[in-house]
Chains A and B, each alone.
Chain A
Amino acid sequence: MSSTGTISEAEQRLPTGGCDVAGQAAGEARRLSPGNILLRVMLICIAAAVVTVAIAISRPYLGLELAADPVRNAITVKSVALGGPADGLRASPGTKLAAIGSARDSASAGQVPAVVQLTAGDLVEDPDGLESYAALADFMKRQTELAGIISGQTVALDFTDNATRTTYVATIQPRARSIADLPVVFWVQLLSGLAGFAIGAWVWSMRRGDLAAGMFALSGVGLLLSALPAAIYSTRELAIDGGSFFGLSVLNHFGTHMFGGAMIALFLSYPRPLVRPVWLLAIPVILAATLTADVTRLLPDPVTGMYVPMLLEMLAIIALILLQRWLARDMPVTRAAMRWLGLSVVIGAGAFVAAIAIPLLLEIEPAISQGFAFAFFLLIYSGIALGIRRYRLFELGDWSFRILFYTSGAVVLLVLDAALIWFLHLERGPALGISLLITSFGYLPLRDALWRGIYSKRLPPVHELFAGAMEVAFSLTRAERTERWRALLARLYDPLKIVPAKTPVGDVAVVDDGLDMLIPPVADSPALRLSYPFAGKGMFGPHDLQLAKQLVALVMQADTNRDAYDRGVLEERQRIARDLHDDVGARLLTGLHSVDDRTRPVLHAALSDIRSIVSGLNGEEAALDRVLAEARHETARRLETVGIALEWPAMEEELAQNAVLDYRQTKALVSSVREIVSNVMRHAHATRVRADIALTGTDLTLRISDDGWGMPADGPGRGFGLGNVQRRVEEIGGSLTATSTPGGTSMAIAVPLKTAGHP
């Protein structure tokens, strides 16, 4: 028993397990797309349904609906089918059908006509519930006799009227049953079997090679083999030949054990493998022995032969489900999935066992017909189908439903075709011409349009591909590029799944016999694995591979070109920045180191401007918090040299990080702060400077105040620097407010802002 395995680990381990049952079985089918397989499955379903219905209606038919009366140990008429062979007989509901026999007049001379007295036991739905194998053998013998009588040309029916106690004999000619005569319980069993089989096969078609999915599909096959024979024999009118009955019954038992065994194997290996796959082979061995012992009547009675093993299988399944749930107690997702899967199985199969097997074991008459109880199995399979959607059972997701849609489309077309052929067949003769016209001008174009609508692979024209590739390569952000690349691949190949490839991919490659395609990393996207192309209906062919290669090359080329372009822009900017630095900067610096004090501030300002320009050459918008940090740093350094204290409190970071300044705003703001601080240093005779920043969603207010002498109302201070500040601030749509008192000056700059991403 594995104590550490998880679902995915279990799946990875399977191929090396040496006994990949499902994988081996799937070896041949692996080359088909899931859609293709599912289409075949649908065809098998149709064929199985046709065969079952054909067998069911091939039995001779009396046209009586009979009911067992266990109290009187008799068979009574429940109703008479309208238009049936018995229509018109004086057989009111409740009339006892005492015996049937070959018609006296048709019996050949010298032979006593066969007459069989009927008992309630002749109508038993499934003989598995009989008390002994002897009773079973007797039952089969009587079935053979009854079937022999009914298959005669004429059948004599001995009725005993309930009220009058009079007996009378009626003679009828049995004929084949029509489809409409089959009872509802027949269809319930047929549909339950087919649905279980189809859902199992659907899961398997997408998870071939997965043991659990294989076992699930096998259980569906078992249900099919169990339900279809039961549908035939349990809805017989009165009797079918004992030999055929026995054969159908064995098939039913075989299917039942297959279902139970496959379910046990499923929960022995899913979600966590509990035993080595090779041990699973013990299940068919044990069940085959049980079946043989039952068929050869080595067991005490039929109930022990069938219902006891069924009950034990059910108990084993429940125990395994509980164990799996317990093992998954630390994995919430697996546990939720197990709860769902387990609940479906326990309620579905458990209800069947509880309704049929347990009453029979306790020798009580089951409350409902076994045929209707088959509908419980639909609970299992529809529950699992829902689980796939909700819990990604078997690692399948929403995408797996698309394939059902397309296959259903194909089946609809098939049925339309069949209906058309049938219609033409009926309308042979004068109407043939009209039929042909309708077919040629109405049906065929419609069918063609439907087919193309559902099935065609539409490859976009070359110029569209090129545009798509360029769109991918020249998207502005990485995320956008990745997203567009995926969208392009999805548009081209319509795969059911696109996931990052787990292994490195060097070049485009088609793997898993055309079911998957690997795409190398391009357009800032990781390597991708595309699974089940064309909505699961097709496979990756050489043409698709070629196209993908071209596309990857195209996007890579475009990527390179874009990179080169970006690099070129950057290099050019860097060159300009370098020239400014090396040439202009150096000259200014030389000047700075040789001129007098009056000119020095001008050169300083020029150098500062070059700094701003160089950082502006990056072309990027600057985050407000960064700009303010630089301004604060510069101010602090400058004030430090002249011994003026600075108070510049921190502000709300969130807002400052989101707000961005473009180059002009940055330059205006930084220059203004520089100018204001210069004024303070030169003229204010201050000892402290305080900066206050107020930020609303749309505006920044920066107030710089000092404790100096204040500005003379009309003095030289006003004209020198503040004009420049005012001009700069107004250029970016802001305003400057200066207030001056003898106790200090306060300059407030208000600047409108924009937030990142919302210019």
Chain B
Amino acid sequence: MPALATNLSAHKCLLVEDQPRTRDWLHGALTSAFPGISIVTASSLHEAQACLDAASGLGGDFTLAVIDLGLPDGSGIDIVRRLAAERPDTLSIVATIYDDDAHLFEAIAAGARGYLLKDEDVDLLIGYLRRIEQGEPPLSPSIAHRMLAHFRTPRPMSPVRDNAGLTNREIETLSLLSKGLTVAETATRLGLKPQTVASYVKAIYQKLNITSRAEAAREAIRRGLA
């Protein structure tokens, strides 16, 4: 959808990556994907936090943030979390070389709306960036599997259960993705349009974030912190 892409190009992107070459490479990919986008780069957690502090002062919000998780002074998840709390409209995308649940589940629960694999070919990467921006985040089988387990675990005291619970279609989607099917294949299997399945995936991302925040709050209350 070029309209949206152009729309986004008018906005700002925060790129957090400590390796200079990779940063340049991601920079290039972002510029190709969204021509005209203005990119602010940060090479550490500290710098990224400073960028966010500065931006909030000026009122110029980031529309997009591409965040590396392994930063020299901490985990990029902190940035993801901060963005989810302070600027829910910002699209946080995690850049990683692993797409397994151990690395990504926490980031998604913290509010990431998509992820990129950094060893992908640049053309492929541009494609993925655009897709995420259009509301079609990727979901690897292991993350889908982990999400299924997460939503199947009963949380009897959860006040947000009804909002966070998945619909039957969403559960079907997750279980097909967990078997290694792509979004397009899942759509064919379910007799739906790929866009519909993509919207399920997006909804699943958000619901995971909602339940995780509710659980964190409950845990805090239980420990007497809140």
Contacts and interface: CB of A to CB of B under 8 A. Distances in A.
A630 B179 CA distance: 8
A749 B157 CA distance: 49
Contacts of A629: 141-142, 145, 178-180
Nearest to B26: A593
B70 A581 contact: yes
Given A590-B19, A611-B100, A629-B180, A641 B124 contact: yes
A598 to B, nearest CB: 15
B31 to A, nearest CB: 15
B44 to A, nearest CB: 13
A444 B206 CA distance: 81
B117 to A, nearest CB: 9
Contact of B119 (A589, A625, A633, A640): A589
Contacts of B24: 593
A589 B97 contact: yes
A578 B98 CA distance: 11
A637 interface: yes
A614 interface: yes
A636 B145 CA distance: 18
Contact of B182 (A589, A628, A640): A640
B121 interface: yes
Interface in A602-619: 603-604, 607, 610-611, 614-615, 618
Interface in B19-64: 19-22, 24-25
A581 B185 contact: no
Given A586-B70, A589-B119, A607-B97, A650 B19 contact: no
A628 B180 contact: yes
B180 A631 contact: yes
B179 A650 contact: yes
A581 B141 contact: no
B190 interface: no
Interface string B115-128: 00011010110000
B98 A592 contact: no
B140 interface: yes
A365 B140 CA distance: 92
How many chain A residues sit at the interface, stated as a range, is 20 to 34
Given A586-B19, A586-B22, A630 B142 contact: yes
A581 B19 contact: no
Contacts of B121: 641
Interface in B94-132: 97-98, 100, 102-103, 118-119, 121, 123-124
A464 interface: no
Nearest to A591: B21
B159 to A, nearest CB: 24
B181 interface: yes
A626 interface: yes
A585 B179 contact: no
A594 interface: yes
B182 A594 contact: no
The interface residues of chain A, by DSSP majority, are classed as helix
A593 B95 CA distance: 14
Contacts of A630: 140-142, 180
A630 B178 CA distance: 8
Given A629-B179, A630-B142, A633-B180, A590 B21 contact: yes
A339 B100 CA distance: 60
Given A614-B98, A626-B141, A641-B124, A593 B21 contact: yes
Nearest to A574: B102
A261 to B, nearest CB: 49
Interface string B1-32: 00000000000000000111110110000000
Contacts of A626: 141-142, 145
Given A581-B70, A614-B98, A589 B118 contact: yes
B180 A589 contact: no
A654 interface: no
Contacts of B181: 632-633, 636
Nearest to B179: A629
How many chain B residues sit at the interface, stated as a range, is 20 to 34
Contacts of A640: 182
B140 A633 contact: yes
Contacts of B25: 593
Nearest to A623: B145
Contacts of B98: 581, 611, 614
Contacts of B119: 588-589, 592, 603-604, 607
Interface in B171-226: 178-182, 185
Contacts of B103: 581
A714 interface: no
Contact of B97 (A581, A633, A636, A648): A581
Interface in A742-757: none
Contacts of B21: 589-590, 593-594
A632 B179 contact: yes
A637 B19 contact: no
A604 B117 CA distance: 12
Interface string A576-590: 001001100110111
Contacts of A581: 70, 97-98, 103
Nearest to A639: B182
Nearest to A583: B70
Identify the interface centre among B21, B24, B178: most chain A CB within 10 Å of its CB.
Answer: B21
Nearest to A630: B141
A583 to B, nearest CB: 9
A590 B68 CA distance: 14
Contacts of A648: 180
Contacts of A650: 179
A742 to B, nearest CB: 30
Contact of A590 (B22, B141, B142, B182): B22
A603 B97 CA distance: 12
A615 B102 CA distance: 9
B65 to A, nearest CB: 19
Contacts of A632: 141, 179-181
A589 B19 contact: yes
Contacts of B182: 633, 636-637, 640
Contacts of B141: 626, 629-630, 632-633
A625 B179 contact: yes
Interface in A508-566: none
Identify the interface centre among A592, A607, A640: most chain B CB within 10 Å of its CB.
Answer: A592
A626 B177 CA distance: 11
Contacts of A589: 19, 21-22, 97, 118-119
Given A593-B24, A636-B185, A582 B180 contact: no
A629 B174 CA distance: 13
B97 A585 contact: yes
A637 B183 CA distance: 10
A615 B98 CA distance: 10
Nearest to B20: A590
Ranked 10 nearest A-B pairs via Cβ: A632-B180, A629-B180, A629-B141, A593-B25, A633-B180, A590-B21, A582-B70, A636-B182, A607-B119, A633-B141
Given A629-B178, A633-B140, A636-B181, 18 more contacts: A578-B70, A581-B70, A589-B21, A589-B22, A589-B119, A592-B119, A594-B21, A604-B119, A611-B100, A614-B100, A626-B142, A628-B180, A630-B141, A630-B180, A631-B180, A632-B181, A633-B182, A636-B185
7 contacts: A581-B98, A586-B70, A594-B21, A607-B97, A626-B142, A629-B179, A633-B180
